[in-house]
Amino acid sequence: MFFLFPLLLVAACGGADAPSAPDPVDTLAVPSLDDEEETAVPMDVATAPPTEGAPSLPDIEEATLRGALSVLASDAFNGRAPASSGGEKTRKYLIDQMEQIGLTPANDGDWEQKVGLVEQAIIPSQSSLSFSLPTGTDWQTEYGEETMYWTKRVQRTVSFDESEVVFVGFGIVAPEYGWNDYEGLDVEGKTVVMLVNDPGFYQQDEAFNGRAMTYYGRWTYKYEEAARQGAAAALIVHETAPAAYGWGVVSGSWSGPQLDLERQDKGMNRVALEGWLSLDAANRLFEAAGHSYEDLKQRALSPDFRAIPFDGVSAEGTLKNVINRNESANIAGMIEGTERPDEMILYIAHWDHLGAGFSGTDGDQRDTIHNGAVDNATGTAGLLAIAESFANAEVPPERSLLFLAVTAEESGLLGSAYFADDPFVPLDQIVGGINMDAIQPTGPAHDLLVIGYGASELEDILKTVADDYGKRLRPDDAPEKGYFYRSDHISLAKTGVPMIYVDQGVDLIEGGEEAGRAFVQDYIDNRYHKPADEYDTAWRVDGLAEVFTILRDVGVVLAYGEDWPNWYEGNEFRSLRDAQRTETAD
């Protein structure tokens, strides 16, 4: 789970879809109720079923939540690192709990989906990235200060040379927005340099999704697109405002070991070198090529922009890697539908956290088990509690329900990415999915926070259910930072599957926004990604139970109904879902 400020905690971090330390997320970045047109509806909890004809299900049991939280966040599980003894205990516990609840193994008779992991660390003293400049001089960049770079190719030595350098604007191909920075361009074997975020950040409502970042603005997309275009290397220019984090996050997050999936092609479909240029380094490079960085950035804001070769500039890189391999697993249980068992509703939560270590000097060492009670024993406990409620329904669901506890989220959303890449159920048969990640254990609130608000028709269902429970939906008010793209649901969204990501609101029934914001700020300051993120029996589990009840009832609408929600028109994932469903119909 991603919050306000990144902490660099474990060596085995980094991965395909997130940096080794999480991107910063300001969980307090929610609009004040005073700024909204609507007011919260009365807090009378609805007793009617969430959809006509659907049965009422047994309550979400606080005892189930407390039991799971006390076990998963205990020192005995040693921080639940993916490939560790604590990780093994977690996997066994989840399987035992799913079996007791009455779920069935979802992966062709197996509870587990094994996830091979590979850890790579470049050796900075033996690695380099340099540019040959028009003046006839060579500029070897300073690792950590001017550039950060790595490779997804699982090889001890990766190199390229005499690679022409091309500025490709934002490095985006987005047909739904009439945008193609690679149009008419052959970058085979070349080094592409691009801007962070997307044009909407600068043009607000004039391009893309306004100030709300689209997936095209994420660095993950930019590296993936550069690889699809055949580039040898891909470099993103760092600027703090559009990136939403400073250079210190970049230099810290991408140094040291980086964890990724063990892919069949050993990462050979990626560019040889992925990396960042500091703003100072970018200015130097652009000036050496005879251009102004600011001028080209402004030109890149037009959909008519065409890539600009840096005549006389070429790049050369060598990366020396240390490689280690290990294994973890996703855990998956299922309730089979009675009428349309091939159609599935997905609940997903990551079970892993940061593990354990020691810190201190002069022999003054202290235990640093990162228990991960909020992040994400809460979501995992919710997964089990929702599964228990469905399993005990008097009328079984018409569609199937898949409960997926994924590994290695803290290392870059790797478990969910593996499931999306190698699903054991057809993705086009997943009706929709609900992600539960680091739900704050406050008392009940008047509101629910929807990360990535305005993305899919799942929000329409959520709003109907929330209205019945006297809740109102509110978006985070920093959509330009792209928080929607930083948790496990995005792995499925990238395939087309509609997903929703909800957190506890901040306008608490007892204490209002002041109390809610203070609680979250205290968590960020004192417990997030720290050993102090521990379960406390004083937690207000009733607030958690209420959130999970609402998320369960969203699933009820889908599991006992026939709706196929889609992404909203204009969303970057809409065309993927349309294609999925068209293929299914054919």
* pLDDT > 90: percent of the chain: 76
* Cα–Cα separations (whole angstroms), residue 112 to 319, 329, 344, 351: 35, 6, 18, 13
Q: What percent of the chain has pLDDT over 70?
A: 89
Tell me: pLDDT of 17 over 80. Answer: no
Read off the pTM: 0.82
pLDDT tens figures, 526-540: 888 888 899 999 999
d(CA 226, CA 270): 8
Does the pLDDT of residue 5 top 70, yes or no?
no
Task: Give the pLDDT confidence score for residue 52 in this predicted structure.
Answer: 64
Beta bridge partners of 504: 448
Q: Give the pLDDT confidence score for residue 47 in this predicted structure.
A: 39
The rounded distance, in Å, linking the Cα atoms of 338 and 349 is 25
Express each pLDDT in 144-181 by its tens digit.
999 999 999 999 999 999 999 999 999 999 998 999 99
First and final CA of the chain: distance in angstroms? 38
Of 39, 28, 35, give the one whose Cα is nearest residue 514: 28
Which of these, 491, 328, 344, 332, lies nearest to 404 by C-alpha position? 332
Report the alpha-carbon distance of residue 505 to residue 503 in Å, rounded.
6
Query: 551: pLDDT confidence band, cut at 50, 70 and 90?
Result: very high
User: What is the residue-averaged pLDDT of the chain?
Assistant: 88
For 216-253, write each residue's pLDDT tens digit. 999 999 999 999 999 999 999 999 999 988 998 898 88
Bridge partner residues of 334 (DSSP): 104, 402
Report domain extents, the chain.
67-117+327-585, 120-323
Q: What share of the chain is helix, strand, coil (3-state, %, to 5)?
A: 30, 25, 45
**Other CB atoms within 10 Å distance of the CB of residue 295:** 10
- Which residues touch 513 (CB under 8 Å, ≥6 apart)? 32, 33, 506, 507
Which is it for the CA torsion 139, 142, 148, 150, positive or negative?
A: positive
CATH 3.40.50.300 fits 120-323, yes or no: no
Per-residue model confidence (pLDDT) at position 393 = 96
Max avg pLDDT among 46-55, 365-374, 575-584: 575-584
Nearest-10 crossing angle of helices 85-101, 379-391: 20
Measured distance CA(121)–CA(258) in Å, rounded: 6
Indicate if the pLDDT at residue 476 is higher than 90: no
**H or E stretch at 290:** none
**What was the pLDDT predicted at 530?**
86
Superfamily of domain 67-117+327-585: Zn peptidases (3.40.630.10)
pLDDT-derived band at 125 (thresholds 50, 70, 90) equals very high
Helix axes 62-72, 541-559, angle to 10 degrees: 110
- In the prediction, which pLDDT does 42 show? 31
Lowest mean pLDDT among 19-28, 304-313, 342-351, 540-549: 19-28
Contact 169, 216 (CB under 8 A): no
